[in-house]
Amino acid sequence: MTVRAPHSRTGRPTTARPPGPRLPVVVQSLLFGLYRHRLMPLLQRRYGSVFQLRIYPERTVVSISELDQIKAVFSGPSTTFHAGEGNIILKPLMGDHSVLLTDEDVHLRARKLLMPAFHGAALRGYRDMITELATEEVQRWTPGVPFRSHDRMHALTLEIILRVVFGVSDGSRLDELRGRLAEVVDINPIDILGWHAPRLQRFDPWRRNLRNQRRVDELIYAEIAERRRAPDLEARGDVLSRLLTVPGEDDQLTDAELRDQLITLLLAGHETTATALAWAFHELARNPAVLATATEAADGEDEKYLEATAKESLRLHPVITEVARKLTEDIELGGYTIPAGTTVLPSIMLVQGDPAHHPDPASFRPERFLDGGPDTGTWLPFGGGVRRCLGAGFSLLEATIVLQVVLSRFHLSPDSARPEPARNRNITMVPGRGAKILVTRRNHS
Please report the pLDDT score of residue 71 as a whole number: 95
Q: HEC profile for the chain?
A: CCCCCCCCCCCCCCCCCCCCCCCCHHHHHHHHHHHHHHHHHHHHHHHCCEEEEEECCCEEEEEECCHHHHHHHHCCCCCCEEHHHHCHHHHHHHCCCCCCCCCHHHHHHHHHHHHHHHCHHHHHHCHHHHHHHHHHHHCCCCCCCCEEHHHHHHHHHHHHHHHHHHCCCCCHHHHHHHHHHHHHHCCCHHHHHHHHCHHHHHCCCHHHHHHHHHHHHHHHHHHHHHHHCCCCHHHCCCHHHHHHCCCCHHHCCCHHHHHHHHHHHHHHHHHHHHHHHHHHHHHHHHCHHHHHHHHHHHHCCCHHHHHHHHHHHHHHCCCCCECCEEECCCEEECCEEECCCCEEEEEHHHHHCCCCCCCCCCCCCHHHHCCCCCCCCCCCCCCCHHHCCCCHHHHHHHHHHHHHHHHCCEEEEECCCCCCCEEEECCEEEECCCCEEEEEECCCC
Please report the pLDDT score of residue 249 as a whole number: 73
- Confidence category of residue 5, pLDDT binned at 50, 70, 90: very low
For the segment 323-334, the average pLDDT, to the nearest whole number, is: 94
Please report the pLDDT score of residue 198 as a whole number: 82
- Confidence category of residue 9, pLDDT binned at 50, 70, 90: very low
Higher per-residue confidence, 311 vs 55: 311
Highest mean pLDDT pick, 10-24, 278-292, 375-389: 278-292
For the segment 239-266, the average pLDDT, to the nearest whole number, is: 90
List the chain domain ranges.
25-441
For the segment 336-355, the average pLDDT, to the nearest whole number, is: 96
pLDDT digits (tens, 9 = 90+) for 203-225: 888 888 889 999 999 999 999 99
For the chain, the average pLDDT equals 91
For the segment 79-108, the average pLDDT, to the nearest whole number, is: 92
**Report field, pTM of the whole predicted structure over 0.85:** yes
For the segment 88-99, the average pLDDT, to the nearest whole number, is: 89
Give percent above pLDDT 70 in the chain.
Answer: 96
Please report the pLDDT score of residue 217 as a whole number: 94
pLDDT digits (tens, 9 = 90+) for 355-386: 999 999 999 999 999 988 888 899 999 999 99
CATH superfamily of 25-441: Cytochrome P450 (1.10.630.10)
Asked if the model's pLDDT at residue 238 lies above 80, the reply is: yes
Please report the pLDDT score of residue 58 as a whole number: 67
